[in-house]
Structure formats: C-alpha cells, structure tokens
C-alpha cells in the first residue's frame, strides 16, 4: 500500500473514531436534558492520540457513561426506598392532619432547584 493510501486510511479511521465519540456524547446529552454537549474532538487532537488511544478513549468514555447511568438508577431506587421508610416512620408518630401540616411546611421551605435560582 502506498504512503498516501495509508495516510488517507489513518485520517479516515481517526475521523470515524472521533465521530463515534461525538455520537456517544450526543447520546449522553439526550439522556440529561439540561446537560451541555461536550465535544472531545479538540482535546483528542491536542493530545495527539494515536488511533489505538482514540479507540480506547472512546471505549472508556462509553464505559463511564454506562456506569453513571447504572449508578443513577441505583441511587434513585435507594432514594425511593428511603422516602417510603421515612413516610412510614412519620405516619407512626403524626396524625394525618399533622402530616399535612408538616408536608406543607416542607414544601414552603424546600430549597430552590439550581434551574430556579436567580
């Protein structure tokens, strides 16, 4: 194979790998509505990753994304279980009227979400 063909093949392989990283990042963006899409292309180029490193880097990012999704799912399950446990404990101590008053108080004093802060 000539040097030119090898260079073109190397460039196309690099572009394909960068595109796959971009696709993985785009999927992550769709999962989290308010998350800004992070483009890794500039840092990949700056670090001058080899084709093998770029492939490994893309796989690592995908693995981390999958792990975050799983952690988030487990965290949500734990929060739900803890919430159910707290509600049951509250119901053992407070009357239904007192529970309503407590919930209203908590709703009024709940910290604002990041998106609601000025």
Q: How many CB atoms lie within 10 A of CB 95?
A: 9
Its pTM stands at: 0.47
H or E, element range at 85: helix 51-93
User: Exposed, middle or buried: residue 54 (CB in 10 Å: 0-12, 13-18, 19+)?
Assistant: buried
pLDDT band at 86 (very low <50, low <70, confident <90, very high): very high
Candidate from 20-24, 39-43, 79-83, 107-111 with smallest mean pLDDT: 20-24
CA within 13 Å, CB half, 30: 6
pLDDT higher than 60, residue 68: yes
pLDDT band at 118 (very low <50, low <70, confident <90, very high): low
pLDDT value, residue 30: 53
pLDDT value, residue 25: 58
Q: Could you say which DSSP state residue 118 is in? A: -
Q: Residue 95, SS3?
A: coil
Q: Residue 67, SS3?
A: helix
Please, what is the average pLDDT of the chain?
80
């Amino acid at each position: 194979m000539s040097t030119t063909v090898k260079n073109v093949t190397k460039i196309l392989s690099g572009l394909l790998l960068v595109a796959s990283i971009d696709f993985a990042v785009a999927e992550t963006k769709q999962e989290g509505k308010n998350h800004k899409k992070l483009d890794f292309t500039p840092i990949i180029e700056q670090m001058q990753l080899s084709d093998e490193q770029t492939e490994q880097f893309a796989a690592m990012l995908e693995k981390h994304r999958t792990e975050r999704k799983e952690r988030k799912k487990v965290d949500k399950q734990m929060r739900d279980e803890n919430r159910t446990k707290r509600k049951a404990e509250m119901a053992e101590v407070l009357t239904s009227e007192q529970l309503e008053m407590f919930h209203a108080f908590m709703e009024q004093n709940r910290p604002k979400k990041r998106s609601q802060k000025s």
